[in-house]
Chains A and B, each alone.
Chain A
Amino acid sequence: MAQTLFDKVWDMHTVATLDSGQDQLFIGLHLIHEVTSPQAFQMLRERGLSILYPERTFATVDHIVPTDSQARPFKDALAEEMMQAIEDNTREMGVKFFGLDSDSQGIVHVIGPELGLTQPGMTIACGDSHTSTHGAFGAIAFGIGTSQIRDVLASQTLAMSRPKVRRITIDGALNAGVYSKDIILRIIAELGVNGGIGYAYEFAGSAIEALEMEARMSICNMSIEGGARVGYINPDDTTFEYLRGRPYAPKNFDDAVRVWRGIASDAGAEVADHVALDAGSIEPMVTWGINPGHAVGVSGEMPRVADLSEDEQEGARLAYQHMGLGEGDPIRGTSIDVAFIGSCTNSRISDLREAAKVVRGHRVAPGVRALVVPGSKQVLRQAVDEGLDQVFRDAGFEWRDAGCSMCLAMNPDKLEGRERCASSSNRNFIGRQGSPTGRTLLMSPAMVAAAALKGEVADVREMTS
């Protein structure tokens, strides 16, 4: 019978069915970072357990890392304590750690693929909801909590309920100035932030197949914003060519490719639900509210509360009150104070190249604080080699070291007061960027660059001709 990639990978990793009816799922690759792992190590020690397969866990630091100065000890004593905890835990338990002294340090969802750790057909777990990113390679990857990190460390398995598969087919060609970030923001706007609960999203269609790997990662990254814990794309030649030659890519690469081709969804594999979207109908998207589903095309108007479904109205009223924006007004022209290019969604070299194209030869608008935070040390080096850091600096952007930075503000990079930020990150929740009254507008890196230059939400399609 024709099977989806999801079914093949899930079945292959199913160790047993537990008495509860949950599947015991083997986790091929486990990634950890400093924020959600220390308590898991503590739990292991309290129970006298060790790591069953230490070679299957890899660690880095990203959330708390300052991006201006990474000198130790950190100025923030709590951040320094967390840093020491992961250093001690990984050393004592024999886990490979890409720390600040490593050339490979960076955001966990940037470095996994970059190192070739992320491969097709794997199950991948990490104590971070954006683990869905790795699904871009045809892996089944999902976020877990800290007690589940304990379970993976102790047993390399998790007790999981099997989701259904919804295929989202996007056919056609994207218009100039439209990126994969716009695809996923449009999908979330259409299906809702809870539309994906109980589903794994399979992204398919000619528009998806035409995307490079980094663009695919941005889509899978935000599956969770649509409620889907897992999002994946079937592996193809683009996937294999990305992986070839990376440090952890298989040495017997051609044999690996033969295996990987076999795990893609079979033609005619049935799925529980199917949604289709025309790529040509997608505009650059901008969020106006307080969840990633509150998004409109840049030429559009923010919805009137009365036109929304009853379920959405209370959230929209709260959103307009928090954002200080008016229902029915155009989103274009909304003033901004801060521009942030970074995060596990959009901090890769292709993101920086696209933003730099917009920025080159221009200046950041007066009064706008703008920063670029590469996702990893490797992205940083590549950008410097290409002279992109200078393009951004010449325009008045700050150029920073690798980390999560202002996506979630667990480090010194934060919004102040009611600042409004054009951001290439993934969440516009109230307070997300570090100020309880701060305001976030999500968009693609190129759109953030355009907003930085204009000092307001602008249509990047009119700035790159």
Chain B
Amino acid sequence: MSKAIQKITGTGVPVRGNDIDTDRVIPARFMKCITFEGLGQYAFYDVRFEADGSLKDHPFNDERYAGASILIVNKNFGCGSSREHAPQALQKFGVSAVVGESFAEIFSGNCTVMGIPAVTADAEAIESIMAAVESDPRGEITIDLDAQAVTVGRSRIATSMPSPQRLALLNGTWDSTSVLLENRALIEATARAIPYPNNFA
């Protein structure tokens, strides 16, 4: 069993924009590796650094958001490549939850299996969270998966998450391998039942 995840508390970092793809989260050239260690430094690399290594204007470079663990985004975040290197880079940078208007499915699936809640809220709610974080970057944010709400300062905002993903996090079954292997007999029965003509013989 993995750890049950009910509440995540921390400060926030807003990264504005719709359709931020996983190539932008981590450019492909940093995927030439055989472990995920050390990927944190490459998160958002090409929008954080100029070719000469000097800093660009990006929230991940902004000292006001140093130490933030809750990433706040807009629509269709994580679209494109299935690379788990993207949420791995974010996690290793310090992100432990993402709040957005919507997520690409492979990205949110990767987040769940890594134990990173990816919760959604409507556009107005996201704007209010982003504005609150921008005006008070040290303000505490709490994501409560049980209550399905985000608390920012004194305001409490309703969030949603597909029920199976939410329960997997709440039940501590998000690290799915052992849960799946519990059904070994059923797996074997399915393998026998599917009508594959010659099973790759």
Point out residues on A near B: beta carbons under 8 Å.
Answer: 12-16, 18-22, 24, 26, 28-29, 35-36, 38-39, 42, 47, 49, 52-53, 55-56, 63-64, 76, 78-79, 81-82, 85, 117, 119, 121-122, 127-129, 131, 142-148, 150-151, 154-161, 163, 193-194, 197-198, 224-225, 227, 229, 248, 250-253, 255-256, 259, 291, 311-312, 314-315, 318, 408-410, 427, 429-432, 434, 436
Contacts and interface: CB of A to CB of B under 8 A. Distances in A.
A429 B195 contact: no
Given A19-B171, A409-B29, A56 B46 contact: no
Nearest to B162: A161
A151 B174 CA distance: 12
Contacts of A56: 199-200
A434 B29 contact: yes
B53 interface: no
A150 to B, nearest CB: 6
Contact of A129 (B31, B82, B179): B82
B27 A129 contact: no
Interface string B1-33: 000000000000000111101011001110111
B14 to A, nearest CB: 14
Contacts of A432: 23, 28
A363 to B, nearest CB: 32
A430 B113 contact: no
Given A79-B32, A146-B84, A252-B198, 10 more contacts: A26-B191, A26-B194, A35-B31, A42-B35, A82-B33, A128-B82, A159-B168, A194-B104, A224-B106, A431-B46
B133 to A, nearest CB: 19
B29 A410 contact: yes
Contact of A155 (B21, B33, B181): B181
A15 B81 contact: no
Contacts, number: 230
B113 A147 contact: yes
Interface residues of B, number: 66
A278 to B, nearest CB: 27
A458 to B, nearest CB: 28
B183 A117 contact: no
A117 B199 CA distance: 9
A259 B195 contact: yes
B82 A127 contact: yes
B83 to A, nearest CB: 7
A408 B19 contact: no
A156 B21 contact: no
B96 to A, nearest CB: 16
A20 B104 CA distance: 20
Most chain A CB neighbours (cut-off 10 Å) among B76, B81, B103, B167: B81
B28 A81 contact: no
Contacts of B189: 15
Interface string B159-173: 000111101100101
